[in-house]
Amino acid sequence: MTILKQITGFIVASVIIAACGAPGEKKETDTLSSGVISISVDETYRPIIEEQTKVFDSSFPEAHITTHYKSESECIKDFLNDSARLILVTRDLTADEKKRCEQKKLVPTTLAVAKDAVAVILNNSTADTAFSISELKGILTGKYKKKYTVVFDNQGSSTLRFMMDSILKNEPLGANVFAAKGNDSVINYVENNPDAIGFVGVSYVSDFNDPEGLAFIKNITVASVFNDSLQKFYKPYQAFIAPDYYPLTRNLFYINRETYPGLGTGFANFLTRERGQLIFKQSRLFPLRTNIIFREAEVNSQ
């Protein structure tokens, strides 16, 4: 009887120790489809990711994702400072940032899930409706023949960084460049100022009432941009974003730091699969993780 009590006591103790884990060991409580986590997302993609999280949460009622919409630079900071285990941004980590992850024994997973475009928008009264890359560079540096007021969404914006990296290439911005308070503010400013030019994510200016996906909102003008290699002007339509015919295209990445099958990984997986990819397509981005069939159609590139 005494031996039986000892065995029973040992089993109970073992179960308690296993349940509690080792001292100081963090026990994860979320899974691929349940739990509560916070993620940080480039605010340029707010309408799109709001739809993604809405569908994800409705599909997995035990999953709750709190999304913080910030500038891209702030999202990267959150990731490196352990405030967010998953972020959605328009670039991969730099070599320096990857080194910081190594020092923390983190192995980030990065994957491009969709392709986006930066739309160049103008007041409807302007005569200019098409630009070359060199002309856009002149506008951004304040050297263009016409003095435009240039408006971006915010100072830490991915759109601003993209234009500086891809067009300015170490040349400074002109004194004519200003930051607004988000993409909607850029559109509002351009709509009400004849000498303004703005740069926003293409989903903000797409007319979602058009089933063909070839219309833009009417209160501003979306400019065409010249592709030097193809010697043609293109607008940011999905069919021109996909093969990079439209010159101002960029990828949307998720960067995930989870080392186990947690909720961040579950949401990242959702973005790469059929429903998540369809939401990107409906938002006028080009989905990168699904097969898209193009059919012949007459599309005016200008």
Inside any domain, residue 83: yes
177 and 240 in one domain? yes
Range of the domain at 97: 35-114+250-287
Inside any domain, residue 28: no
Inside any domain, residue 176: yes
Inside any domain, residue 298: no
CATH number at residue 166: 3.40.190.10
213 and 161 in one domain? yes
Inside any domain, residue 51: yes
| Per-residue pLDDT tens digits for 2-58 | 544 444 444 444 434 344 444 444 567 899 999 999 999 999 999 999 999 999 999
266 and 231 in one domain? no
255 and 245 in one domain? no
93 and 40 in one domain? yes
| Per-residue pLDDT tens digits for 136-162 | 999 999 999 999 999 999 888 999 999
Q: What percent of the chain has pLDDT over 70?
A: 87
278 and 258 in one domain? yes
| Per-residue pLDDT tens digits for 68-125 | 999 999 999 999 999 999 999 999 999 999 999 999 999 999 999 999 999 999 999 9
Number of domains in the chain: 2
254 and 242 in one domain? no
257 and 245 in one domain? no
Q: How far apart are CA 254 and CA 267, in angstroms?
A: 10
